[in-house]
Amino acid sequence: MDDEHIPQSLVSTNYLPVETDIEKSSDPPHSKASTWRVKFYKYAPFAMHFFVTVLVATVCLGFLDGRTFNANSRRPQYQEVDGSLSHVTFFAPLQSDITTAVSLAATITRVAGGWWATGYIWRCIFVAMERGGISAKGVSQAISNRPPAPRHFTRKSNMVIIYITLFATFAFDYFSAALTGSFVWEAAVTQVPGKILLSGITDGITEKDSPILNPPGGNLEVNFNSGVTAMASASASIAWGTPQSNSMLNIAEPSTTFRRVINGAQYISTNSILANVNMPYFAVDAFEWVRDPHQVLTNKQLPLLSQNASEYNPFIVIGNGTGGLLPDAVWGYGPFTPVIPGPVLGDPHLLISETRLFTFRIWFPWSTPYYTIAPPCPQNFTIDPGSEVNFISGSDYSEGRDCFAIANVSYRAGVLSCQNCKIISPNVVEAQAPSECSIIGSFFSSDALGMAPVIAANFFLTDYAIPLNYGTRRNLAIELTSRAYQAGWAAFADLGTIGTNAVTVQIALPTLRAKTTHWRVYLWVALHLWVLVLGLLFTYIQSHCEHSWVDDPIMAVFWLDTRAALPRVSDPWQPGTEIRENEMLILEHNEAGQQSVQV
């Protein structure tokens, strides 16, 4: 075969310095500008990498953490009190914008690190060639991000440098996951002022002429109270039938949450804020079961435990837990409500604070269908952990018997003037009793306390307002009475109040709150600083080598004098060429400042 058809490797060495040229040349004096230029290219990338890392971490921890961002629109719309649509007057970034910005910041930080890490591998190869040598095969594997085998190094310390370099530069591209994954998004709200006032909220203070205020007896009073009972039962199902928070699903102690259903708030979004609303207030200061109820009950109170005591008797509904605050003589009348027409007993506008007996019914079904003689109610019964009571027998039925436990209850009832009450569902307002607040009296507090037992009994017909996981019977009794009083007071206020208020509304917009996982941000910073320290450490090691620092190590490879190595290796441009592994490449530094590779 003619040789002219065989591919040849043409290697030109005209650009390489020859010995005569080196002898004739002399080192040009280094100017002050060139010295600063070398220092800039040597240290500026490290400074930029450090600055960007600290800046991104500071923004994530100090600015983004805890802030809220829009979920669906940069300028969301909302419903006003009357149902009309409005837009907010400002723009805000979306949660996706922040996620994109954090990802971009992580990428910029990686690029900043890549500014100095680009030539990191070649610089390590220069050090390995100068300090004992590295084989051509080892160089090929190192620049391909593959750890060379120990046989490719003359000194094991060079192998450690190459391995650390490869690990740092390889893992460098995966640090971003620690930062982008450090954000957890929680549901939150942002308040914007509504343009329309919410009007028609009864204050429960200014009463109008009503039969219930001075009850004359007869059907008019009965019809009014029946309306109150129906309205209170329905509103309680709305107020307490909404999804309950975890703190209310497991009641270790009776809650201090107060709710009220108001009209005209059906279009207001959940978590919106009303400026000022009067809310029913009920708090128990002491609750103690009475071991022997016969010692505390009066002759007028014993007949109240019968099923046929009155039309407001709470025992008309069969169920465990019915009962309530025991009146002095007749069910349906509060502590300040006269039984017969006459003067009101006390000032109805004052906060009610008293100690009163409380009755709690437990239904005991028969274990055998028919009895000749009904078995008595249990005695020395553990009604709650650490509390034993003797029951009083009530009415007997074909299916079971009523047994009543008695307790002493000290309580306060009135009205809480709520500032910044929260809408928790359509038409439902909720207030949390503050530690220090001014609780005022209400004309309807006495009437609501009188109707609370029968209202609580009506709760058992639907179970919507019954507390869940109440724990003890004490907690059930207090929570039922509190909810019944709240529903009853709201019904009396809506039916018997002249004064109404118009309040401002802060409309709640659904947003997302950024919660930064600090340790993941610190991990991301630590990884970048670790690689940065490795780079500075290597810079220190290279400063003790004979070869000088070069601005661009990639281009320096092309200008490196490799004439001594070329005759000893196969032509790498030939297909299938395998590089020899048994010879070491050594970087030598001659007197003229020229670096050359020797085998």
Domains of the chain by residue range: 3-181+515-598, 236-258+283-417+431-495
Q: How far is Cα 36 from Cα 392, in angstroms, rounded to an integer?
A: 99
Nearest to residue 131, comparing CAs of 454, 547, 559, 521? Answer: 547
Q: Which residues contact 108 (CB under 8 A, 6 or more apart)?
A: 52, 56
Q: Under the phi-then-psi rule, with left for phi > 0, alpha for psi from -120 to 50, and beta for the rest, what region is 420?
A: left
Q: How far is Cα 581 from Cα 149, in angstroms, rounded to an integer?
A: 11
Q: How far is Cα 476 from Cα 479, in angstroms, rounded to an integer?
A: 5
Buried b (16+ CB within 10 A) or exposed e, 162-198: beebbebbeebeebbebbbebbebeebbbebebebeb
Q: Element (H or E) spanning 168, and its range?
A: helix 156-171
Rounded to whole angstroms, what are the CA distances from 33 to 38, 43, 87, 323, 593? 9, 15, 59, 95, 20
The amino acid sitting at 535 is: G
The amino acid sitting at 205 is: I
The pLDDT of residue 79 is 87
Q: pTM for the complete prediction?
A: 0.70
Q: How far is Cα 406 from Cα 297, in angstroms, rounded to an integer?
A: 9
The pLDDT of residue 367 is 66
Place of tokens 């002249």: 498
Q: Which residues contact 169 (CB under 8 A, 6 or more apart)?
A: 117, 120, 121, 145
The amino acid sitting at 50 is: F
At 155 the three-state DSSP class reads coil
Q: How far is Cα 155 from Cα 129, in angstroms, rounded to an integer?
A: 10
Render each residue's pLDDT in the chain as its tens digit; 599 residues. Answer: 444 444 444 444 443 443 334 343 445 555 555 667 667 777 888 889 999 999 999 999 999 999 999 988 899 988 898 888 988 888 889 999 999 999 999 999 988 888 887 777 787 788 777 777 777 777 877 777 777 877 777 777 777 777 777 777 777 778 888 898 899 999 998 889 999 998 888 877 766 554 444 444 444 555 667 788 888 988 888 888 765 554 444 444 556 789 999 888 888 988 999 988 889 999 999 999 999 998 999 888 888 888 776 778 888 877 788 889 999 888 888 876 655 444 444 455 678 899 999 999 988 877 665 555 667 888 999 999 999 999 998 777 667 788 899 999 999 999 988 888 899 988 899 988 765 567 888 888 888 999 999 999 888 887 788 887 788 899 999 999 999 999 999 999 888 776 678 889 999 999 999 999 999 999 999 999 988 888 888 777 777 676 666 767 777 777 777 776 666 666 667 776 666 667 777 777 666 566 667 66
Q: Which residues contact 540 (CB under 8 A, 6 or more apart)?
A: none
